[in-house]
Structure 1
């Protein structure tokens, strides 16, 4: 008995395997102490059909060997790139064609399948399909099942119209009253007459878009003619109701004044996290809130207002007493201009500004009273307008690339006066490249101001000007897209943000009588009862 493979057991003093005759037994494998990894041979492959001992398998094996022997000396795949003139290339081409023939014979036919034609509906089926179809009325829809008339149905040549028709119309943007009435069915004569009657009610202004009309049309005199106007009620102004009605064959206008309460509205509330939304929640309109923020920002930076502060504003308001009752306009009231804007801190006024004068600007009592004694210590606003472009980098609206905007732009109407921000001497007056007509003032102490895009210059170089003096007029000269003032501020020859100096709105010198009137008007506005029973605490 012999062992095949390494032994994993610890065996000493023994010999393995069978010794040759006449020779002593020796070890055929070294015995190692410890464990040896055993490497097993791979399993033998499974026998194929040609390895079976069956006679049929033997015959199949012999036939396969003959084919393999014959094909061993031939080359099935011919390299057509080698030996272009060799004869075996022709054999390879023929073999390729022989192999392609079965594929070409199996190519599928591409003839269309025969299907039964779709039958077209006849006349009766077309009527039935049309009755079941859905079409919009604007496209001339006449869908629905139609029945033939019986003896109970009598045909009539015409259908009688309603004697009167009541309509409600709203005047649209850029619309005309006469055109609107003609679209409703009135004749051109009645429409022109109504327009002439209504014109004196609005003066030079046209009717406001959104005005509602309650219209009643009468019966036609002749079939096919426009209907005549019997009555038209509307509200051309907040304080006036008007009615156009037919009397004795002619149209006449009747007006009825609407009692209006013009007491201003006085709102007070906590600023909170958002001053804008707090004022809106108190009942102010968006335009009123925007006017309030602009008025306050002229004297007090908005970022300094704390959440615990209170806003206070008084604005004009009209309300129909008892309601107009016609439903033409909102009877809850109509807001007007902002009259007073203030900020309260711990119940005490932090800022109080009021609209004063014909220019519509807001002033504090101190600013109005110290008009003659402020000298050049403060900068006056150079023009009455709103800031549309700020100091800093921006994309130039004409040149199209980003560059430094060394000033601020004030939007103002063409020809508005431009004022000197402070006392100084005109160091330059004339054309200045992209600035167009340009004026530069030297205020001393290294402070200069510049004014660009003027339509006309009112001062000359070397002239001495005082704060608030007119030095030119708003225009659009130079690189400009519209009438505005480009205002610059220089400190030591370097441009700085003009808004770093708080502006005082421009005003002329006022008399003590006007100052007293200003203070009396402010007391009158603050005496208006606060809406909703609001308190200052």
Structure 2
């Protein structure tokens, strides 16, 4: 009995709670969450509820990662930019062909395997080209190219025997071959020289048996003037350019015809321009265009204007086909001063009474120039009463001009003077209160108001000069438009030819560097 009692007492002590004991509280959600295993080992208890819950968690995490993936984009880094100097420096230090450093003179630094040469060999010949500049000396060009001064002077004299050195145009190229020199301190001798000395002449030299032999090679030239003709259309300038005229030629043409008619209003779209210019073409293919020879305008198939340049008394002028020269209107001011006393009745500043003032007074500094207002012949040049030093010019057609009170006279009686020519200098000679010019104009010997006169001058050709002038027009207008550009058979020049400098070099240069 005691054993059973003991067992009951133990059972009551272990398995049963006291009736008066308080119940245990339910676990909170934090406790449940802390006890929840969100990442169970999927290698254990495969197929259990805990395993499936872990698999679902893994799937959700992978889906969230995939949905928020931004993609892969390579990171671009800007390449370091080098300027021209840094690039050249870097290129010279790279392991590249030597030519990449040879154009700058910079190369990789020498290593211990490099041994300097005691003396570098020279090239047996050097080919180069020199250019004659404006105002330059032929000998000086050779000296700058490495030719000795004595040899340069000798070459210049030799070339001058074939063509005057002044005829060699600036920009002429001189091809040279300089030979081997006896010592490094001496200049190289000239082995060959070639140049286009003139449009119709080529000069070539070659050293034979120790001396330079010069050959003159004439170049056949066709000197047919170039005639350009076409319809004016909307624009004379654009039409002439399209026909082949140069801008300089068109400008010269417009200046010439503009002296006889208005380019803006007198020329119609249906008119034809007719231009003839100096033109030369060499057998070697080069051509050059010179000055304007003829300026014409055709209307309705008939010449409306024909003008060429003609020499009259040593002065070139443009004349019409009728022999009438350029028309020049208006007066050159006899001096640059302002008018201080007008034409008409006035009280004389010295004599003190009213009388006719037959000219106008123009102020000016003592010694200022006095100009002829237009072309004329000197009738009087000397001291004349109250005028002091006085010059009177006759201009033809009963017109004359007078210039008084000058300090000095610069012309003589009978002399022909041109418009704008200085005939004397302002002074205060005669009845004068100060330096000024008294200027008068006469019509049939009667003084008139100078401000009411405007001279118009026009030269005319007569007699043999007119016949020669018209013969020249017929000669020019007989040229077919574009004939200067047509193919022509030019006879080739016979005789020994030097050939190119490259041919000379290949014959004379031995084993070189």
Return the match for 2:463 from 486, 506, 510: 510
1:305 paired residue number: 267
Deviates more, 1:359-368 or 1:226-235: 359-368
- Alignment of 1:193 onto 2:154: yes
Distance 1:213 1:495 in 2: 62
Return the match for 2:112 from 130, 143, 149: 149
Three-state SS of the structure 2 residue aligned to 1:224 is coil
Measured after TM superposition, the shift of residue 226 of structure 1 is 1.1
- Alignment of 1:251 onto 2:212: yes
Distance 1:208 1:476 in 2: 39
Measured after TM superposition, the shift of residue 430 of structure 1 is 8.5
Contact 2:378 2:413 in 1 (8 A): no
1:530 paired residue number: 481
**TM-score, with structure 2 as normaliser:** 0.53
- In the superposition, relative to structure 1, how do residues 220 and 208 fare at CA in structure 2: closer, same or farther (>3 Å)? same
2:289 paired residue number: 335
- Alignment of 1:459 onto 2:413: yes
Distance 1:292 1:429 in 2: 45
Contact 1:187 1:228 in 2 (8 A): yes
Return the match for 1:470 from 405, 410, 416: 416
Measured after TM superposition, the shift of residue 246 of structure 1 is 1.5
Distance 2:236 2:440 in 1: 30
Distance 2:403 2:323 in 1: 24
Measured after TM superposition, the shift of residue 177 of structure 1 is 1.4
Contact 2:225 2:276 in 1 (8 A): yes
1:519 paired residue number: 470
- Alignment of 1:360 onto 2:323: no
1:3 paired residue number: none
Distance 2:275 2:383 in 1: 44
Three-state SS of the structure 1 residue aligned to 2:476 is helix
**TM-score, with structure 1 as normaliser:** 0.51
Segments of 5+ residues of structure 1 without an aligned counterpart are 1-130, 135-140, 324-330, 372-378, 400-405, 407-417, 461-468, 480-486
1:101 paired residue number: none
Return the match for 1:350 from 281, 288, 304: 304
Distance 1:337 1:493 in 2: 43
- Alignment of 1:314 onto 2:276: yes
Return the match for 2:199 from 238, 244, 250: 238
2:493 paired residue number: none
Contact 2:380 2:391 in 1 (8 A): no
Distance 1:272 1:477 in 2: 51
Three-state SS of the structure 1 residue aligned to 2:413 is coil
Measured after TM superposition, the shift of residue 185 of structure 1 is 1.0
Segments of 5+ residues of structure 2 without an aligned counterpart are 1-88, 93-103, 339-359, 361-371, 427-438, 486-513
Please list the CA deviations of residues 438-490 of structure 1 after superposition, one character each: whole Å capped at 9, or x if unmatched.
65547678x66689999942437xxxxxxxx92469448659xxxxxxx9999
Measured after TM superposition, the shift of residue 317 of structure 1 is 0.9
Which has more strand, going by share of residues? Answer: 2
Contact 2:321 2:473 in 1 (8 A): no
Distance 1:220 1:509 in 2: 68
Please list the CA deviations of residues 196-251 of structure 1 after superposition, one character each: whole Å capped at 9, or x if unmatched.
11123333735221111111111122123211111111111110011122221112
Distance 2:403 2:127 in 1: 61
Contact 2:203 2:214 in 1 (8 A): yes
- In the superposition, relative to structure 1, how do residues 245 and 142 fare at CA in structure 2: closer, same or farther (>3 Å)? closer
Three-state SS of the structure 2 residue aligned to 1:360 is strand
Three-state SS of the structure 2 residue aligned to 1:209 is coil
1:172 paired residue number: 133
- In the superposition, relative to structure 1, how do residues 363 and 143 fare at CA in structure 2: closer, same or farther (>3 Å)? closer
2:240 paired residue number: 279
Q: State the aligned residue count.
A: 329
